[in-house]
Amino acid sequence: MIVSNTAPGFTEGLSPWLSDLRAEVESHPGVNHLLLSRLATGRYTKSDYQVFGLQHYPMVGNFTRYMELLLLRAPSSEQKLWLAKVLVDEYGEGSDGDDHATLYLDYLHKLGMPEGLEHTTALVPEVWEFIGVHLRLCREEPFLVGLGALGPGHEWAIPKMFHQIIPGLERAGVSYDDRMYFDLHTEQDIEHASWMAQALEQLGTNEEARAQVRRGALLSLGTRFRFWTGVERHIVARRQPTSIEAVRRGLIGRRRPENIRSGGDLGQLRAAVENTLVGRPWPVPLPSDKVLLEVAP
């Protein structure tokens, strides 16, 4: 099977600034992480995908929260309509009423995940970072920064990223029905990307607006890069515990790696999300904008 590095999508008719932003998103390290290349061409098992999926699942479950927060801040009905159209898909339109988090949990169960493991799994710090940063972008930053994070930073990026994951799932023996989340999300986000382009054509009327959109996209992709790095480290640690410990200690040892640093499990993460929405600080240190923006092509 020949694996293409380019996901299907829209390219025609974009204004120059959107074409440039599109190219920047598609060339960003967060969209072209080495882990994605390995998933596209290597041999990972269902167990490896389960390790990855347990870390990815909380991010899937929080996407609608970001959209809802941004919807409340949209300055016009037209902008609210775009966000509402995306939310309808996220809530389950086109997937027999199952929202995307439900589809993802079903996918994990079909990988062989024991019932309830999603609640007790320690989440790598990069999951906490990703969610904390996106809550901040959608609540505290200018509207166009949040829109850049969720539009170009998500809807333009996900088809290409998932386009690299799907071949690996096929090689691991995961059927189309079992991995429906990835295929459906790829198809829907191509449509969402087109809607976003139409909205941004109207909103990017000056350099300040365009800079805010770009900044939001790059901040989101910076956290995405850090997430892939954290997940790859976690997968390797689970596959080769003795080797990782030997590297850490500088010798061949028998002890398994120490537990990952973590802000907690899914229940603790959900509590932190609710707490931050009523003004409490996020419990895990977040990377600075400078650090995130340094992750660039």
- The answer to whether residue 5 is domain-embedded is no
Q: Residue 16 is which amino acid?
A: P
Give the pLDDT score at 183: 85
Structural contact between residues 132 and 276, judged by C-beta atoms closer than 8 angstroms: yes
Please give the average per-residue pLDDT across 111-116, as a whole number: 95
- In the block, residue with structure tokens 């999926």: 53
Q: Residue 39: which CATH number?
A: 1.20.910.10
CA–CA dist 226, 242 (Å, integer): 24
Q: So what's the pLDDT on residue 250?
A: 53
Q: Please, what is the average pLDDT of the chain?
A: 85
More confident residue, 1 or 38: 38
Residues 168-182: tens digit of each pLDDT: 999 999 999 999 889
Parent domain of 53: 16-293
d(CA 201, CA 15): 7
> Which one-letter amino acid corresponds to residue 206?
N
pLDDT single digits (tens) 237-284: 887 655 555 555 554 444 444 456 788 999 999 999 999 999 999 999
3 in any annotated domain: no
Distances in whole angstroms, Cα of residue 245 to Cα of each of 234, 251, 253: 13, 8, 7
Task: Supply the pLDDT for residue 251.
Answer: 46
State the DSSP string of 34-99: HHHHHHHHS---HHHHHHHHHHHHHHHHHHHHHHHHHHHH-SSHHHHHHHHHHHHHHTTTTTTT--
As a whole number, mean pLDDT of residues 36-48 equals 93
The reply to whether 38 falls in a domain is yes
Q: Residue 7 domain-assigned?
A: no
* 8 occurs within a structural domain: no
User: Read out DSSP for the chain?
Assistant: -PPPSS-----TT--HHHHHHHHHHHHSTTTS-HHHHHHHHS---HHHHHHHHHHHHHHHHHHHHHHHHHHHH-SSHHHHHHHHHHHHHHTTTTTTT--HHHHHHHHHHHTTPPTTHHHHPPPPHHHHHHHHHHHHHHHTS-HHHHHHHHIIIIITTHHHHHHHHHHHHHHTT--TTTTHHHHHHHHHHHHHHHHHHHHHHHH--SHHHHHHHHHHHHHHHHHHHHHHHHHHHHHHHHH-HHHHHHHHHTS---SPPPPPP-S--HHHHHHHHHHHHTTPPPSS----HHHHHT---
Q: What is the separation, in whole angstroms, between the first and last Cα of the chain?
A: 28
Q: How many residues does the chain have?
A: 297
> In the chain, how many domains are there?
1
| Mean pLDDT on 23-51 | 95
Structure tokens at 219: 């901040």
What pLDDT score does 52 carry? Answer: 96
Residue 279 CA, chain-centre distance (Å), reads 25
pLDDT over threshold 80, residue 2: no
Contact 196, 16 (CB under 8 A): no
Residue 97 domain flag = yes
In tens, the pLDDT along 60-78 reads 999 889 989 998 888 888 7
The answer to whether residue 59 is domain-embedded is: yes
What's residue 248's pLDDT? 56
pTM of the model: 0.87
Residue 206 scores a pLDDT above 90:
yes
Task: Confirm if 159 and 189 have CB atoms less than 8 A apart.
Answer: yes
Residue 229 covered by a domain: yes
Report d(CA 160, CA 170) in Å as an integer.
16
The band of 201, judged by pLDDT with boundaries at 50, 70 and 90, is confident
- Does 288 score more than 90 pLDDT? yes
**Taking phi first (over 0 means left), then psi (-120 to 50 degrees means alpha), and beta for anything else, what does residue 284 get?**
beta
